Amino acid sequence: MHLLLVRHGIPLPREEDPQKGLSDKGRREVKKVASHLKKTGVTVDAVWESGKKRATQTAEILASSLMAGRGTAAEKPGIAPNDPVEKLAEELSGRSGDLMIVGHLPFLSRLVSLLLLGKEAPDVVVFQPGGVVSMDRYGDGKWAIRWMVVPSML
């Protein structure tokens, strides 16, 4: 299984948008990442997002590039910033197909640590807004980081 974990793009300040949708810069950076992933041949079977406006907007941009008309992003309960990660990690252990999860900190950092180390701390990845961490699960059920990309690299 190939898993792509994405931190939402840069949001607007709460004073400007109480729901903290993507800023213009955040939207541009996510589009740049989506274009890069598409050019390199990355595709996914499903995109899950937290339901928060900034994650939904990020997921929509990425899904339109990487799912090639085969679907759209779907809200997934249980992946909000402070939700526990154990349930999702267990669900991933039995899942096949390539998946993208668009979410938030500290959830994404805790999930990566749990998958790699078997515990939620310490943080082993520093997620930047709009950044993607690619992970693979191998036949023995163990996970490894395959690659990372952040908007400032592109």
Span 95-107, pLDDT tens digits = 999 999 999 999 9
Say what the pTM is. Answer: 0.96
Instruction: Identify the residue whose tokens are 């799912």.
Output: 67
Rounded CA gap, 55 and 82, in Å? Answer: 14
Q: Where do the DSSP E strands lie in 30-121? A: 46-49, 74-75, 99-103
Does 2-153 carry CATH code 3.40.50.1240? yes
Q: Pick from 18, 21, 14, 70: which is nearest to 44 by CA?
A: 70
pLDDT score recorded for residue 7: 98
Contact criterion met (CB below 8 Å) for 45 and 60: no
Confidence of residue 111 (pLDDT cuts 50, 70, 90): very high
Report the mean per-residue pLDDT for the chain: 96
Q: Where are the chain's structural domains?
A: 2-153
Q: What is the pLDDT of residues 42-70, one digit of tens each?
A: 999 999 999 999 999 999 999 999 987 77
Confidence of residue 18 (pLDDT cuts 50, 70, 90): very high
